[in-house]
Amino acid sequence: MSEEERRLLQQQLWNIANTLRGKMGADEFRDYILGFIFYKYLSEKIHLYANSLLEEDGIDYADIDEASEDGLAMVKAVSEEAINALGYTLKPSELFSNIAKRGNTNEEGASNFILGDLAEILNNIEISTMGTASQDDFDNLFEDLDLTSSKLGKTEKQKNELIAKVLAHLDHINFNLEDKKADVLGDAYEYLIGQFASGSGKKAGEFYTPQQISTILARLVTHDKQVLKSVYDPTCGSGSLLLRVAKEVKDVAHFYGQELNRTTYNLARMNMILHDVNYQKFDIFQEDTLEHPQHDLDMRFEAIVANPPFSAHWSANPLHMSDDRFSQYGKLAPKTKADFAFVQHMVHHLADNGTLAVILPHGVLFRGAAEGHIRRYLIEERNLIDAVIGLPANLFYGTSIPTCILVLKKCRTSPKDILFIDASAHFEKSKNQNNLREEDIDKLMTAYDKREFEDKYSYVASIEEVAENDYNLNIPRYVDTFEEEEPVDLDAVATQLIQLEKGMKETDVSIADFCGQLGIKAPF
């Protein structure tokens, strides 16, 4: 698929999304349009799979008569295979294309009523996984797609007409699932998530990290690697960061994530499946990562990426001091700033050969008290901090504050030092948000790779130098970005002032002359 075709597909999907825009807010119609796209994906996926099983018989799965004995037997056989391979099943009558066609206008010009059937189909997808290995990955996956909501319309007829219209539009789009390399739908889905994030207000960052930031984090944790055993995101949102890491390597054996928000957790599971990540290859859970971690604390991950909520509140309960994630530091992160609590959690889960890259507010670099104590421990006792990277302001949805990336490693091959990169001045300014260009990302990664001094951009500080700065990691202490002003030519300035004074005197004479001609007193 060409870039132009890809762009047209994305625009098509966004236009369909706007069909609902007049009825509800961005967050709400996001759940509907993404849910319907996901249903279409599941439908087309099983249709292709079933047809591959029925190829020798020359039968199209969508055309099977479920009322006949032979048809029922075929559907049952396909379902058993699909549950093992795909994790779910759909009957021919439940396929997206069939329900969309049924919703088309009838002879009287009205939409056939499909809301009840559609709700039952979405429920049946979840039911089909019960008691199987995929149950947790499909459980309540469509719970945010409320087909009874009054926001879809005041009457059942209005709701039905709107949903039928959206399904009909989606039915005409070819997601090209046969082309496994293209990932057309995956890219389109990511595009839509980004579009919703940009229009959703200050909470958008809860579910999406801008693509250029995700790219940097992904490149940092996959540096010099082509295969990863595991990647983990403790605040995974829609799963976009996890999926971005997969784009940087040939293979990721397993994806792990945890997300607090229930709706976003559902979105993450949909996003993984929609990107053709088999249900057996990901474990994403819903809960508070700091208070109730869902992955075994003995687990270690080769790559860890995260964009935690900035300066979030947490319990900072003294009982955490007996938790292996925090006990060795001697202090807990403050109740009102959980940034270092997330770092400690991730360090605990980091494999010896792993890399951790996390986005944080600048305050973590210099704040004192407990945070200063934790920062000192990470540097002096563990030699974990590999790099500190300063990013431009106004890159994220919902906040304009400048941010930084901390890169941490357990088994560092370099001497005891820290690389500082100030990338804050390298970006493209746009109306609502600043953007990192490809050349900005490449420059940053080249500096990380070379690990050497570059005037006004990067600097490698020894641990001794960091200690002299009392373990303050504020980037301007190490990367001097001061621009000297051009020297002022005082003689030229003096000459200019003399000329200005001469001109003012000549102007005064002219004004006095005009006033004399008019018979009025000059104002000086």
User: Looking at the predicted structure, is the pLDDT value of residue 156 above 60?
Assistant: yes
Residue 169 confidence (pLDDT): 87
Tokens of 88: 């779910």
Confidence of residue 181 (pLDDT cuts 50, 70, 90): low
Mean per-residue pLDDT over the chain, rounded = 89
Range of lowest pLDDT (7-11, 152-156, 395-399, 434-438)? 395-399
In sequence order, what DSSP letters do the residues of 6-63 get, joined into one string?
A: HHHHHHHHHHHHHHHHTTS-HHHHHHHHHHHHHHHHHHHHHHHHHHHHSGGGT--GGG
Task: Write out pLDDT tens, residues 333-391.
Answer: 999 999 999 999 999 999 999 999 999 999 999 999 999 999 999 999 999 999 999 99
User: Residue 306 burial (CB < 10 Å; 0-12/13-18/19+)?
Assistant: buried
Domain range 3-197, CATH architecture: Up-down Bundle (1.20)
Task: Write out pLDDT tens, residues 10-67.
Answer: 888 888 877 766 767 766 777 888 899 999 999 999 999 999 999 988 999 999 999 9
Query: What is the 3-state secondary structure of 209-258?
Result: CCHHHHHHHHHHHCCCCCEECCEEECCCCCCHHHHHHHHCCCEECCEEEE
Task: Write out pLDDT tens, residues 190-242.
Answer: 778 777 776 654 443 455 788 899 999 999 999 989 999 999 999 999 899 99
Q: Which runs of consecutive H residues, i.e. helices, occur in 350-405? A: 369-376
Give domain 202-477's CATH number out of 3.30.70.1020, 3.40.50.150, 3.40.50.1000, 1.10.10.10. Answer: 3.40.50.150
Query: What share of the chain has pLDDT > 70, as a percent?
Result: 92
Residue whose structure tokens are 């995974």: 236
Which pairs count as long-range contacts for 13-17, CB under 8 Å and 24+ apart, including other chains?
Answer: 13/37, 13/173, 13/188, 13/191, 13/192, 14/191, 14/192, 14/195, 16/166, 16/169, 16/170, 17/192, 17/195
Q: What are the boundaries of each domain within the chain?
A: 3-197, 202-477, 489-524
Asked if residues 268 and 32 have their Cβ atoms less than 8 Å apart, the reply is no
Confidence (pTM): 0.86
